[in-house]
Amino acid sequence: MNQKTPPSPVKKGRELILDITTAAFEGKGLGRAGDYAVFVKNTAPGDRVRIRINRKRKNYAEGRLIEILEPSPLRITPKCRHAGVCGGCTWQHVPYEQELEFKSDHVADHFQRIGGFRDIQTEPVIGAPEPFYYRNKMEYTFGDRRWLTDDEIQSDKPIMDRDFALGLHVPGRYDRILNLEECHLQNPVSFRILEAVREYALANRILPYNSHKHEGFLRNLIIRNSVHTGDLMVNLVTNGDDNHVIQPMTTHLLGIFPEITTVINTINDTRSPSSEGRYQNVMHGPGYIREHIGSYHFRIDPDTFFQTNTIQAKALYDVVLQALGNSSSHASAGSSGRGMAPEPSEDRILYDLYCGVGTLSLYLSTMAKKVVGIEIHEGAVEKARENAAENRVKHACFEQGDMKDIFNDKLVEHYGRPDVIVTDPPRAGMHELVIDQIKKIAPEKIIYVSCNSATQARDTAMLAECYRVERVQPVDMFPRTYHIESVAVLSKKPI
């Protein structure tokens, strides 16, 4: 008589008691129910929890935390009341030192499990000196559908402000906004500005934008600050151009916050959810801010991409610089950078793939006689050329185009064969054609900077037949989140 297979303990909608044993990638805790790996947000190794299965796949499931039955010894009280609901942070419930260990383990796991490397020792993560208030840019969203807390839903009291919210999107809900009552990611003045804008909008009945109906006026509030110059930008993104509304609001804000150096009104009257608009009006100040990384200075316009953590950007760039052989030639982070750029000290050609606006290209420019940056976005390339001119770096060149198309033999023939390739691709990693071209060119060294160590490990494995991995160095650019940057240094194997 055949014995029946026992029913699976994992079924969508079923409640389980689970012991969390591991910190998984993306800030989730991992436990096991029978043969299933179960991932649960807002948990930590050592937690015993009650969960409800909300997604089931062939070999794993995801659960929603209902109750912490026995808290982990690692648990601490989050600094922010929104931790666990807001999508801005994922690891506030454990000490920062523990978070760094989790991130180091994740990078090592990716190189071992995805890359197939068994003999690589991942370096300890370079942590941030301050795990809070580190962001130089925050983008908040207005909405007329505020996310209600469990207490509000269960309460019999009327909710008076449910039709206005200013804060962050709830994860997985583009149409629901968590109305922030505190935030500890950017300089504290950022949240005070948010509060002032919200109070002014409510008092003057300025309607938030409704993405379904394409109605309402206020869409986004973007605040950018410079760590080293003190510049502060407020950018109000609106569904239409109405100076009679924006000018009084600008005057109001400047009266409260004299530290604001520029105010922008970005007009996005399309249905696009992007905070970039069709055009911008400068309401106050020059319309941009300035920042330094090392001895190089940069103009940051409203739509300019710039590393979100200024202090850790320099730490990241210094890892790359060290891999090239020197870090002593750069001035301190507070340098004005207004003099002549240092002369190149190395007789090498360096390519910077996916170079963005050229911040890393310029930071490394003393280490090569020629720097060639390649980037797909036309506006970024224009800004990279401007940055090179501003910093008087004459031996940096920038080309625009899709990497798999423009990074070819013709380009190499024009600029010369690179001795070093630095690559910092998007999260998806490099296209196979780009990897093939790198192997064909065969530079002496490759420095692979990544915001996704999973795809970094995959790409590095494809290079492993020609290159050996010298070092993998994680750098924490985004404390209290699961995101981690890492730098892999590869050297060509002897023939």
Instruction: Give me the helix-helix angle, 243-256 and 188-203, nearest 10°.
Output: 140
> Are the beta carbons of 31 and 48 closer than 8 angstroms?
no
Tell me, rounded to whole angstroms, the distance of Cα 44 from its chain centroid: 23
User: What letters, b where the CB count within 10 A reaches 16 and e where it falls short, cover 414-452?
Assistant: ebeebbbbbbbbeeebbbeebbebbbeeebebbbbbbbb
CA nearest to 387, candidates 267, 268, 306:
306
Residues belonging to the chain: 495
User: 73: exposed, middle or buried (C-beta count within 10 Å: 0-12, 13-18, 19+)?
Assistant: exposed
Quick one: tokens of 412?
């190499």
Does the active-site annotation cover 86?
no
- The burial of 99, by beta-carbon neighbours within 10 Å (0-12 exposed, 13-18 middle, 19 or more buried), is given as buried
- Which residue from 59, 225, 2, 106 is spatially nearest to 484, judged by alpha carbons? 106
Q: For residues 491 and 26, what is the distance between their CA atoms, to the nearest angstrom?
A: 30
What is the gyration radius of the CA atoms in the chain, in angstroms?
25
Other CB atoms within a 10 A radius of the CB of residue 296 amount to: 24
**By C-alpha distance, which of 66, 271, 266, 241 is closest to 174?**
271
Active-site annotation holder among 89, 397, 451, 466: 451
Catalytic center residues: 451
